[in-house]
Structure 1
Amino acid sequence: MPAARFMPYETPDAESVQWDAWWFVRGGVREALPQQLPGWDYSSVETIGVTVHLDTEAIKSATGMQSARDLELVLIADCAPLGRRFVGAASIDEEAEETVDLSVEIPAGEAALQLEVSAHLVLASPGEPGSGRPHLAGSRLLSSQRRTVQLEGEASRFPSEAVPFSAIGLEPAPWTISASFADLNDSFMGSIRLLMNEEHPLARAALDPVANPEAAERLKIDVFRMLVAVVAPDIPECAEQYEEASVGEVVTNMADLYLRQTLVEAASMYRENPLRFERLCYSAVNE
């Protein structure tokens, strides 16, 4: 049950809004939302939601609202490691009892490590101040419990292999990538493989991002740096639209996430001013 919150205005009874089980959608199929999202990778577009049951008459009576359309349901997904917030909203009809599927979409390449999700009943439009009733748009009337969803566990965001680098003739770095693609529209998951050096302590730490978030963030930045190094020779002077889940689309999303630049701009900076490229990449760590 959500913790009690004291508001400077009248709020509905908690029983007038029931927050049902949380869920996520994959391939058009709705499943219960687990503690760790299965199969998540950097190219994933995720939809997370909760089903809400409302007694609109009780809500209007408690708040003094004339119409349920003055209210709105809002779902917030916060990604604290990257400082991102994603918001979904749903309107409320005048039916005495209503069930609403409330959801939010998490775009590809814009979240990492974990999400904290919560749902809220809020005032949709401003009202008249005074009389102890809510009047500011966005005022929260009731809120669900918060849910924390892990995006990354021991698995990587794309195919990986932990191997001793000494056994395969590689320098003793913590990690590297193996890239094999003919075109930037080739599948990212089928073209890129992350090699983790099981002999290196930093690699072992990065495999547990919950316990070692700094190492996991360093891994993501290094993977981005290596991907730009690999794709830079193939980047045209003009921006292109790449196919969904392709090498080009994933690296484009990463360039926007870490540098707030297009892939064309990032590749150009990598070629022409590599030291600035390095500084900007590492300035994005735990930003």
Structure 2
Amino acid sequence: MTRRVLPYRTPSEDVVTADPWLLVIEDGEVAMPEALPDWDYHMDLHLRRTVRVDLDRARVQSGLPTDAALALAVVWTATGSNLGGPANHARLAGGGTITTEFDVLLRGADLGGLLLVDTALVLAERRRDARPSSPRRAGSVLWSDRESLRLQGDAPQFPMALIDFARTSFPDRAAWHLQISGGLDSATMGSLLLLVNERNTVTATAFENAAKPRAIDRLVLSAVYADAARIMIEHALGHDDFTEDADFPDGSLGATLLSLFHQLFAGQSINDIRLRQRNSPSLFASDLQAAVELFEVS
């Protein structure tokens, strides 16, 4: 087991007592589960946690003076959206044991993939008079822990985010953009992200109505699925190691793309489709339209 070694003294783990994160639901509170299989990007997450810190011991064991200002900070990161940021912050002053209640609300539109929630006890202010072995920079971590929650809703086929394209490098009038990053061995939930332009009300509304789509919504969702499938298959074919006998890890991007390929081109070889895509892209595009059954909505 590896352990991170910091260049300064830190207190023992038991100076902080952190209760498990609780997920706030309509009926009350439940322990935060490992995964939310029914999550989608419309679902905001409301989390609560109680943390107790023995300030006197934390300072003494870190070699800090009795007036050193400490703070508790909560930071979140979502692998599906590649977003993150501070969730809550509490400055700790005085002595004795301080109890802090954290109440965090995270927008579903900002999430996706694996949600990581980090809680840390840090030095709140720079100490110019600190000993050589003591923390001195503001933000120096004295204690931390991390809990995770996998968000893998069935409504979207991969992580999604509703954003304003005018604030990005994407064309303002584009309706959506499928972002693919990482290698074929990377986790799918951290490699795919469908960005929907909130300014395109037709597309944004279609996803809002995904559970009970109207006729127009079904057509829009069909177009998005077809375009996403094309981008994913083209991305896969661009990798020479994307072959029938490739052994990609479960949950990896390669495994997801291989499954999609066999779903769309059952009985056909990857090499044949790769050659068709390179030599006759227009025919490949038509084959893909037929495979995804574009606009064949019930």
Q: Spell out the pairing of 1:74-223 with structure 2 (5 A cutoff).
A: 74-87=73-86, 88-128=88-128, 129-144=130-145, 146-153=146-153, 155-156=154-155, 212-213=188-189, 217=192, 220-221=194-195
Q: CA deviation at 1:63?
A: 2.3
8 A Cα contact 2:56 2:66, kept in partner: no
* In 1, Cα distance between equivalents of 2:152 and 2:27: 22
- 2:111 is paired with a residue whose SS is coil
Q: Please tell me whether the aligned partners of residues 47 and 103 of structure 1 are also in contact (alpha carbons under 8 angstroms).
A: yes
The 8 Å contact of residues 73 and 102 in structure 1, kept in 2 or not, is answered as no
* Structure-1-length-normalised TM-score: 0.52
Aligned residues: 185
* 8 Å contact kept, 2:21–2:49: yes
Question: How far off its partner does 1:141 sit?
Answer: 0.8
> CA-atom RMSD, angstroms?
4.0
Question: What letter corresponds to residue 200 of structure 2 in structure 1?
Answer: V
2:151 aligned partner, one-letter code? L
Name 1:175's counterpart in structure 2.
Answer: none
CA distances 1:233-283 after superposition (whole Å, capped 9, x unpaired):
xxxxxxxxxxxxxx59969xxxxxxxxxxxxxxxxxxxxxxxxxx99xx7x
- The TM-score, its normalising length taken from structure 2, stands at 0.51
- Secondary structure of 1:7's counterpart equals coil
**Aligned sequence identity (%):** 23
Unpaired runs of at least 5, structure 1: 161-209, 233-246, 252-277
Match of 1:266 in 2: none
Please name the residue that 1:40 is paired with. 39
The AA in structure 1 aligned to 2:90 is A
Structure 2 counterpart of 1:5? 4
1: CA distance, partners of 2:70 / 2:80: 31
After superposition, the Cα gap between the structure-2 partners of 1:30 and 1:67, relative to the gap in structure 1 and judged at 3 Å, is: farther
Unaligned runs of 5+ in 2: 158-185, 210-226, 236-252, 254-298
